[in-house]
Structure 1
Amino acid sequence: MKEKAIVLWSGGKDCNLALQLAKEEGYEIVALITFHSKSTEFRAHSREWMELQSKSLGIPHLLLEIQEPFAENYELQLQKLKDQLNITLAVSGDISEVHGNSNWISDRAQAVGIKTFLPLWHMDRTEVIKQLQEFDFEVLVTMVKSPWLDRTFVGRKMDSKLIEEFKALGIENGLDLCGEQGEYHTMVLNGPSYRSPILMNGFKIIQHEELFHLAEMNLSLDGKYKVPSLEKQKVCVQCGIPFSCYTQGCWCAELPMIMPMENTTDCLCSACLKSRINEKLIENDQKPIE
């Protein structure tokens, strides 16, 4: 039986390569997971772009908000993913330590009993680039940081010419070939597991302090694909009965939206949710649902 895994997802070159290597190892990828905070602005990694990747790959994509304290909240979310999706593994495209720290996701996953698969960890930078080329990934530079790079690099594809320029700049100004210190960021348009390429039909380049990045992008996907519904196993916080919910077409979407629902920390089963909704409807002199 295949191990079920999630892939930590930004849409960039490294997580795409890690996804491909995880699939070749035989892992069953059940979801792409993007952790973010309220302050995340998605300048380098467009949310719309990630959703198109999800459709082309045929893998559900979940955006999960993390609040302080970050370590505890990462572990809480990973525990929920473990319980709800029955995963045993988290895949990450991390390449090296940041500021000498240990691998963040490995530490968080270990705390909740999830294994990690880090196929790029400590891999030579030239080997990472070589594998991207061998798998024929179509990679676009979405953000650069000065003084390493200027706006002329934004929107360029990572072809052999650009890679040679990056190698030369590594000698000249210390640019990391894979952008591990934030020198540049990427998004992937196409790859071996994509059913259709994502098309970039237009964009603008804007500056934010020392950063230059894509904006006002016109993206499309050549093909109408549906993402499989992701079934989550949950336990009702009111009655304790297990139930299933889905990322698309869930039964709860058919019920009236009554907000707020005080003191509810997680999902309710169908019966308890209907009961709470009817309480609110009656309070507001409205007809309860059957």
Structure 2
Amino acid sequence: MRVVVLYSGGKDSNYALYWALRKGFEVKYLLSMVSERDDSYMYHVPNIHLTELQARAAGIPLVKGFTSGEKEKEVEDMKAVIEGLRVDGIVAGALASEYQKERVEGIAGELGLKSFAPAWHRDPIDYMRELTGIFDIVVVGVSAYGLDERWLGRRVDERAIEELVRLHERYGVHPAGEGGEFETFVRDAPFFRARVVFDEVVKKWDGPSYSGVLEVTRAHLEPKEAQLSKGG
């Protein structure tokens, strides 16, 4: 089956891609939607420009769609892009958002395509633990009380997950960030031929709103063979 994977560069879209490849699907394209808004209803925003590096690392063509981010219209913008692709299905990283899942399924239905959401309704803590065993994940955006500036640029590991569990119990933060509490970026994955290295970053923090982003202003791909030769 030929599929397009909706791809933001974060943990969920990379899991969707990982799942599709393991299923034996022919991943024809990765699709990144670039929104003019910082608070898109549908799409991941922080560092979306870096999906170009990730696509190169994965060796899969990247298609970019652009949207003003207007509610519902951004769904039509994505549909217009997918309509021009020769695929049989759409794979998305939805975990708990009914809004996103329903709209992707709606696009698939209108275009006569199959829709897949392999992470749908998984236990968020088990899911996060599985992801940390597969990917190198870093937090690039936060927007929830309890998540402070120190989380920006932090690698998601077992200790981070334990803290997220405590924040969930205390403040209701979703352990997998599904409510927009945090955004992530995957620097390495089993299907990457090279890993993404951040060269220059800028932390932007808004204390009153408990929100911030880690903007990666310069990055490059480093072949894994080069890392092995360095002993890392």
For this structure pair, what is the TM-score category when the shorter chain's length is used for normalisation?
0.7 to 0.9
The answer for unaligned runs of 5 or more in structure 2 is 225-232
What is aligned with 1:51?
52
CA RMSD of aligned residues (A): 2.3
With over 3 angstroms needed to count, the CA separation of the structure-2 counterparts of 1:37 and 1:213, relative to structure 1, is closer
> 181, 190, 200: which one pairs with 1:192?
190
- Partner SS, residue 179 of structure 2: coil
The answer for unaligned runs of 5 or more in structure 1 is 225-290
- Partner SS, residue 103 of structure 1: helix
Matches within 5 A, 1:1-290: 3-39=1-37, 44-66=45-67, 69-81=73-85, 86-98=86-98, 103-135=102-134, 137-208=135-206, 210=209, 211-223=211-223
Deviation at 1:40, TM superposition (A): 5.4
With over 3 angstroms needed to count, the CA separation of the structure-2 counterparts of 1:146 and 1:57, relative to structure 1, is same
The CA deviation string for residues 242-279 of structure 1, in whole angstroms up to 9 with x for no partner, is: xxxxxxxxxxxxxxxxxxxxxxxxxxxxxxxxxxxxxx
Deviation at 1:38, TM superposition (A): 3.6
Equivalent AA in structure 2 for residue 76 of structure 1: A
Q: Distance in 1 between matches of 2:101 and 2:199?
A: 40
The CA deviation string for residues 137-183 of structure 1, in whole angstroms up to 9 with x for no partner, is: 00000011131311011100001111111111111111100001111
Deviation at 1:112, TM superposition (A): 1.0
Percentage of pairs with the same residue: 27
Higher relative contact order (CA 8 A, sep 6+): 2
Q: Distance in 1 between matches of 2:8 and 2:82?
A: 17
Q: Distance in 2 between matches of 1:71 and 1:159?
A: 33
Task: Kindly indicate which of the two structures has a greater share of residues assigned to strand.
Answer: 2
Contact 1:5 1:87 in 2 (8 A): yes
Q: How many correspondences in the alignment?
A: 216
- So what's the TM-score if we normalise by structure 2? 0.84
With over 3 angstroms needed to count, the CA separation of the structure-2 counterparts of 1:43 and 1:37, relative to structure 1, is closer
Larger Rg: 1
